[in-house]
Amino acid sequence: MRTSCSYHPAKPAHFECSKCDADYCAECVIKRSVPTYGRTETYYYCPKCQGMVERLDITDIIDPFWVRLPKFFIYPFHPRPLVPMLLVSVGVVLFSKPGLVNLLINLALWGVLLKYSHAALKNTAHCRYYPPKINSETISQDFGIVFKQMAIFVIVGIALSKVAQIFGLFIAKVAMIVAILSIPAMIIVLVATDSLIHAVNPVVFISMAWRIGWGYLLMYLFLTILGGAPVLLGRHVIAHLPASLHVFLFALAKCYYTIISYHLMGYVILQYHDDIGYEVDLDDEDSILTEKKVEQSAGSEILNRVDIFIKEGKIDDAIFLIRGETGGKIADLELAERYYNLLKIKQNIPDLLRHAVTYLDLLAEAKDMGKMCEVYAECATRDPGFVPRSSTLFKVASCLNQAGRPKAAVNSYNRFIKANPKDPQLPKAYFLAANIINEKLKNPKKAVGILKSLLKSYPHHEIAPHAQRYLRQISVTE
Ligand SMILES: [Zn+2]
Ligand SMILES: [Zn+2]
């Protein structure tokens, strides 16, 4: 059964904290990488109690194979397996004429495909869901495994013919059904033990299939349906296509079937690794845990812990945590937003207004103008004396003006002027306010008044020539 994260029900849990009785997804836990003896070890901690978390068993992490079935069908369409599939199919066409040399070439081609399929199986059994890369390791290294698999078929064939010789054809047919049913078990034993003797030993492979139980029969059923697919495809589709394509398409269908079968067997090994006695190496870089790489910044780490408190309704704890961890200096926009909302819920207005200054700066930096105007409006209604930092306030004002709220824009300039009578940006605020008053509020008289007093008080400011020009422009149009 798949366990879900206690705080993200849609995500599978990969860790548990027995102290907090909670399950966590990969995003919830705190990761710390520690260099040890030249390599980096990653440790995982509980976001609530900060203790080490334990990894859940793989069977708690993965879906049973019958849930994942549609994904098995897509697997061979990845470019990595498609390349050997196409090459082998083309090869089979080129060397299709009867003869010893062509037979050997065909054997070699299927051997390469079998080797690649075996690499796919191993990959899957180690929790890596992507098809393996094509390289010497997946195509030629440890090629012995392919001979061992071929040996299984040869041994089964010899055994069946012996049975037919001794007990007659009927018993041989029964034995053949048993043999076909056992082949996946033999391959799984071969993978798990790397021993041909074990793989063909009925005591070993039957007891292994027995331990998997119904899951084995179900897998067998799927493999049979899959195995029948190329034949059906051949009879109903390929037969109607031009004859020259027959050999190619039939080979391609066989490749497709082989790769899916091995991928499925690999998954069954992963799912039942405990029953089979197969060691799954989960610490690998590409494994399921890192299937989606989770980048964790300091901000997101605090955010995860904050969200856990929020989901548990512990608002005070969440606020306390943010204060404690950031010392009031919040640099992460998402965290700033959470803090703002938490203070709003608690109606802690003094802290909210203090924090809003930082929050507005972060919003301005992120160019989230809509949200910035909204937060500003909220704070301005709560406190008539509320003033953001000057550079941010200028952005707020121009954004309000663009949003078709000229009055609010002029108000925010006024607020700035009142709050910062000594600010070097003051003349600029006057100038911009006059601009809006003239153009949007259609009050040129008032605008002229503002510009005149601006020029009088700040005749040498860099904005003065602009103010002069603008003043002349208004007088002309009037
Ligand atoms: Zn989670
Ligand atoms: Zn804990």
CA of residue 207 to ligand 2 center, whole Å: 40
Output the CA angle 153-157-163, nearest 5 degrees: 145
Distance 28 CA to ligand 2 centre (A): 11
Ligand 1 centroid–CA 278 distance in Å is 29
- In the 8-state DSSP scheme, what is residue 132? P
Expressed in angstroms and rounded, the spacing between residue 306 Cα and the centre of ligand 2 is: 14
CB 260 within 8 A of CB 75: yes
Give the pLDDT confidence of 32-84 residue by residue, as tens digits: 777 767 666 778 889 888 888 988 877 777 788 888 888 898 899 988 999 99
Q: Are 152 and 190 in contact (CB under 8 A)?
A: yes
pLDDT tens for 318-331 read: 999 999 888 878 88
Ligand 1 geometric centre to CA of 358 (Å): 28
Distance 40 CA to ligand 1 centre (A): 24
Over the stretch 64-76, which tens digit does the pLDDT of each residue have?
888 888 889 889 9
Statement: residue 293 has pLDDT above 60: no
CA of 274 to the centre of ligand 2 (A): 27
DSSP 8-state code for residue 12: B
Q: How far is the CA of 326 from the centre of ligand 2 (A)?
A: 22
Q: In the sheet where 54-55 sits, what is the strand order?
A: 22-24, 15-17, 54-55
pLDDT number for residue 330: 87
Interval between CA 318 and ligand 1 midpoint (Å): 17
Residue 292 Cα to ligand 1 midpoint, Å, equals 14
The confidence score (pLDDT) of residue 291 equals 40
How many angstroms separate the alpha carbon of residue 313 from the centre of ligand 2?
17
Task: Output the CA 433–ligand 1 centroid distance in Å.
Answer: 49
Q: 316: CA distance to ligand 2 center in Å?
A: 19
* Mean pLDDT of all residues belonging to the chain: 86
Report the separation in Å between the CA atom of 19 and the middle of ligand 1, taken as the mean of its atom positions.
17
Ligand lying closest to the C-alpha of residue 29: 1
CA of 445 to the centre of ligand 2 (A): 67
Residues with Cβ within 8 Å of residue 262, at least 6 apart in sequence:
117, 118, 120, 121
Q: Are strands 39-45 and 54-55 parallel, antiparallel or unpaired?
A: unpaired
Give residue 110 CA to ligand 2 midpoint distance, Å.
52
* Range 143-148, long-range pairs (CB < 8 A, 24+ positions): 143/111, 143/115, 145/115, 145/118, 145/190, 145/194, 146/111, 146/114, 146/115, 146/118, 148/190, 148/196, 148/199
Q: What is the CA(337)–ligand 1 centre distance, in A? A: 20
Flag whether pLDDT at 109 surpasses 80.
Answer: yes
Residue 14 CA, ligand 2 centroid: distance in Å: 14
- Which ligand is nearest the CA of 24, by number? 1
307 alpha carbon to ligand 1 midpoint, in Å? 10
For residue range 191-245, what is the model confidence (pLDDT) as tens digits? 888 889 999 999 999 999 998 989 999 999 988 888 777 778 777 877 788 877 8
pLDDT tens digits, residue range 234-281? 778 777 888 778 888 889 988 998 999 999 999 999 888 888 877 776
User: Counting ligands in written order, which one lies closest to the CA of residue 308?
Assistant: 1
Looking at residues 328-357, what average pLDDT do you find?
A: 91
Global pTM value: 0.57
Instruction: State the distance from the centre of ligand 1 to the C-alpha of 25, rounded, in angstroms.
Output: 4
H-run or E-run covering 5: none
Question: Residue 47 Cα, ligand 1 centroid: separation in angstroms?
Answer: 10
Q: Give distance in angstroms: CA of 4 to centre of ligand 1.
A: 8
CA 353 to chain centre: 37
Structure confidence at residue 284 as a pLDDT band (50, 70, 90): very low
Q: Are 142 and 208 in contact (CB under 8 A)?
A: no
CA 131 / ligand 1 centre spacing (Å) = 28
Q: What distance in angstroms lies between residue 220's CA and the mean position of ligand 2's atoms?
A: 42
- Distance from Cα 60 to the centre of ligand 1, integer Å: 15
**Structure tokens given for 78:** 């990845």
Instruction: Determine the pLDDT at residue 296.
Output: 52
